[in-house]
């Protein structure tokens, strides 16, 4: 009997040991976080949990039109990829994901909601819009309690240019009226998703979680409120996204679903940043591979979009944010560094769900043919179609900056305003001029105020060109107030200056127009006037361009259609210039008295003179 008790004790102890060793079932992540009925995009859930591949999955109840179509196991045992079938008449509501292994089962609630009416037909940003670019951490601190959080590594330290300063979503919401009053009609903010690096995480381009707003900015719910508040003020919202690379602090990095989820090398290999390899007939395959597979930085793992599961993940992620928050557009970072064929399919998928949606890609090149290659519908000899609707006009950006730094009477051949004429003379290369974003500066370039060394008159010329040229204009926050870098020699962190008035202890509040003084007031009032005038000026949004070359550092162009004409004369010299109307006779001959857009005064064709370093903008009726 004693032996029997001993054996029983050993058996019970063994069972207890096995039971204790058996991990508790836990679903760590289900992405997308939710979904909707009536979507065009197929739903493939990525489910993460300890040894979850050992489980089968069913969706309950079984009679409401939602079911499991197929289960895919990954290389890691901690993932399931599940194709979900959603019938056309499926009911919206909560569903149960039931995980089963033998006689055990575990339940997880998943929501498939009703889709908002008209969601598919949503409009996006166009040439009628003026885009205001914000860097959230440097704009305004509306909630000081989230400057540092227990669940994020880097803590706020406003005394250091490269650290977090505390700007957040609430600060953006608090100052939407300022942006709307300025005349902007759309806001592009640099990424707001979690970036959990231990330094320089404020820029947001190293994503640690694709489905959650960084808690130092706020919450997903607050982001949705931000979009709603923007829409109340006639402001569209453009989300900045980065499919090319994720942070090595992302929760999946140490346990990737598939071996080829990210690009891996025997030793750290950086991109060669030569995206001409995408269209260069002479480029080696080795150079192309390093360009699109090499890493941007040691903390930025390069994503492999040739993996179909990852590509599906990014398609759904994009659609989820649009549907969840009510977005109006995307700006895609480092666009050409993604694998180009998968990204073409990504663009197609987003546009299939939202036919009127606009996506602008960052294609940072001064080469006009290379830039044109990336716009969807462009004629490319290799037959490639990116399906990317809009591109950022960096050649024009470069020309504006160079021209403004070459003001004066001695610009020289091929310099000054001739640079801008030359860039626009290549417009025949582009497939769609209306879908080009134009700018003089962004968060990655020297501030235009630095380029012109604080010259308010040439800053006004820049504003005049942005408000009257073809394409969709974008302005970096603070350029309307002549912001300059705090220390230009120290690079990016110092050009991304804090907006005075965005923090409670700031001495000045430049969100308050009553506190504008001197050159800042002059530039703000000028820019605000033109931006608001542009809103209703269809000839600027959709008109044609006629320009004239001159070698004296002046530049003249017309924007015109069948009903309206706007004439712009840029005097980038240090001397007064008379407008040579006879030279512009092919369009000017049919015009008579016009109106100065800035002053409201009448402009006659005879003896019209333009002050040094200034722009004349005249509107006519045909």
Euclidean distance between CA atoms 298 and 296, whole angstroms: 7
For residue 490, pLDDT over 90 is answered with: no
Kindly report whether the peptide bond that precedes residue 61 is cis, defined as omega within 30 degrees of 0. yes
Q: Give the pLDDT confidence of 222-233 residue by residue, as tens digits.
A: 999 999 999 999
CA neighbor of 120 nearest in space, from 322, 389, 354: 354
For the chain, the average pLDDT equals 95
- Report pLDDT for 249: 97
Q: Full-prediction pTM beyond 0.85?
A: yes
- Report pLDDT for 491: 86
Residue 546 host element (H or E) = strand 544-548
- Report pLDDT for 412: 81
> Is the separation of the CB atoms in 317 and 35 below 8 Å?
no
Euclidean distance between CA atoms 552 and 560, whole angstroms: 25
List, by residue number, the catalytic residues.
Answer: 333, 362
Quote the tokens at residue 434.
């209306």
Within 8 A by CB and 6+ apart from 32, the residues are 43, 45, 211, 316, 317, 320
Please list the alpha-helical segments (H only) found in 452-537: 456-468, 492-495, 518-534
Residue 25 pLDDT class (50, 70, 90 cuts): confident
Mean pLDDT, rounded, for 592-600: 96
CA neighbor of 202 nearest in space, from 230, 242, 162: 162
CA neighbor of 612 nearest in space, from 578, 584, 585: 578
Residue in this structure with the two tokens 């604080």, named with its chain if needed: 454
Residue 71 host element (H or E) = strand 66-73
Domains and CATH numbers, the chain: 29-113 (2.60.40.10), 543-621 (2.60.40.1180)
For residue 2, pLDDT over 90 is answered with: no
Residue 15 pLDDT class (50, 70, 90 cuts): very low
Q: Give the pLDDT confidence of 516-531 residue by residue, as tens digits.
A: 999 999 999 999 999 9
Kindly report whether the peptide bond that precedes residue 32 is cis, defined as omega within 30 degrees of 0. yes
> Is the separation of the CB atoms in 568 and 616 below 8 Å?
yes
CA dihedral sign, ordered 129, 532, 558, 611: negative
Euclidean distance between CA atoms 420 and 19, whole angstroms: 74
Residue 411 pLDDT class (50, 70, 90 cuts): confident
> Is the separation of the CB atoms in 139 and 129 below 8 Å?
no
Quote the tokens at residue 200.
């320089």
Residue in this structure with the two tokens 């025997």, named with its chain if needed: 266
Residue 153 pLDDT class (50, 70, 90 cuts): very high
Euclidean distance between CA atoms 167 and 190, whole angstroms: 12
Euclidean distance between CA atoms 304 and 315, whole angstroms: 14
Residue 21 pLDDT class (50, 70, 90 cuts): very low
> Is the separation of the CB atoms in 52 and 80 below 8 Å?
yes
> Is the separation of the CB atoms in 160 and 202 below 8 Å?
no
Residue 346 pLDDT class (50, 70, 90 cuts): very high
Q: How far is CA 615 from CA 473, 583, 607, in A?
A: 17, 18, 16
Residue 23 pLDDT class (50, 70, 90 cuts): low
Mean pLDDT, rounded, for 152-171: 97
Q: Give the pLDDT confidence of 33-58 residue by residue, as tens digits.
A: 999 999 999 999 999 999 999 999 99
For residue 463, pLDDT over 80 is answered with: yes
């Amino acid at each position: 009997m004693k032996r029997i008790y001993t054996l029983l004790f050993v058996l019970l102890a063994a069972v207890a040991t096995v039971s204790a060793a058996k991990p508790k079932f836990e679903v760590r992540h289900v992405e997308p976080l939710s979904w909707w009925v009536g979507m065009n995009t197929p739903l493939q859930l990525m489910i993460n949990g300890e040894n979850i591949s050992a489980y089968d999955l069913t969706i309950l109840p079984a009679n409401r039109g939602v079911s499991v179509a197929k289960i895919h196991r990954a290389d890691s045992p901690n993932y399931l990829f599940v194709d979900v079938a959603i019938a056309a008449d499926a009911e919206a509501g909560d569903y149960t994901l039931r995980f089963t292994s033998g006689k055990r089962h575990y339940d997880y609630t998943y929501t498939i909601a009703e889709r908002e009416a008209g969601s598919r037909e949503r409009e996006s940003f166009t040439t009628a819009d003026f885009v205001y670019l914000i860097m959230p951490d440097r704009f305004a601190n509306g909630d000081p309690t989230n400057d540092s959080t227990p669940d994020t590594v880097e803590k706020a330290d406003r005394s250091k240019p490269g650290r977090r300063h505390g700007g957040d979503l609430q600060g953006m919401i608090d100052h939407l009226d300022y942006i709307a009053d300025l005349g902007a009609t759309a806001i592009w903010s640099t990424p707001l998703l979690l970036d959990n690096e231990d330094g320089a995480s404020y820029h947001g381009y190293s994503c640690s979680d694709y489905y959650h707003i960084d808690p130092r900015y706020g919450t997903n719910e607050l982001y949705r409120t931000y979009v709603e508040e923007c829409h109340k003020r006639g402001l569209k919202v453009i989300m900045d996204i980065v499919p090319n690379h994720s942070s090595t602090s992302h929760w999946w990095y140490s346990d990737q679903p598939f071996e080829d989820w990210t690009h891996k090398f025997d030793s750290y290999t950086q991109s060669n940043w030569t995206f001409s390899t995408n269209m260069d007939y002479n480029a080696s395959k080795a150079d192309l591979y390093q360009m699109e597979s090499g890493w941007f930085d040691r903390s930025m793992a390069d994503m492999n979009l040739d993996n179909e599961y990852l590509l599906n993940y990014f398609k759904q992620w994009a659609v989820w944010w649009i549907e969840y928050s009510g977005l109006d557009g995307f700006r895609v970072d480092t666009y050409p560094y993604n694998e180009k064929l998968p990204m073409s399919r990504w663009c197609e998928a987003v546009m299939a769900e939202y036919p009127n949606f606009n996506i602008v890609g960052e294609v940072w090149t001064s080469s006009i043919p290379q830039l044109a290659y990336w716009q969807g519908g462009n004629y490319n000899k290799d037959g490639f179609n990116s399906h990317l609707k809009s591109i950022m006009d960096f050649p024009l950006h470069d020309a504006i900056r160079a021209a403004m730094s070459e003001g004066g009477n001695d610009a020289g051949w091929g310099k000054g305003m001739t640079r801008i004429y030359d860039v626009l003379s290549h417009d025949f290369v582009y497939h769609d001029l209306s879908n080009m974003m134009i700018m003089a500066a962004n968060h990655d370039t020297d501030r235009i105020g630095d380029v012109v060394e604080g010259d308010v008159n040439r800053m006004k010329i820049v504003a005049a060109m942005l408000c009257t040229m073809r394409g969709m204009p974008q302005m970096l926050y603070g350029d309307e107030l002549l912001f300059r870098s705090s220390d230009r020699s120290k690079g990016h962190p110092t050009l991304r200056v804090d907006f005075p008035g965005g923090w409670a202890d700031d001495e000045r509040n430049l969100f308050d127009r009553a506190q504008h003084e001197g050159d800042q007031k002059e530039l703000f009032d000028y820019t605000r006037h033109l931006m608001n005038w542009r809103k209703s000026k269809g000839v600027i949004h959709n008109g044609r361009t006629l320009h004239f070359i001159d070698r004296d550092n002046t530049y003249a162009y017309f924007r015109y259609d069948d009903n309206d004409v706007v004439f712009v004369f840029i005097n980038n010299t240090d001397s007064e210039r008379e407008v040579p109307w006879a030279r512009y006779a092919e369009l000017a001959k049919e015009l008579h008295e016009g109106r100065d857009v800035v002053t409201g005064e009448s402009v006659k064709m005879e003896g019209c003179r333009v002050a040094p370093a200034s722009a004349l903008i005249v509107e006519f009726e045909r």
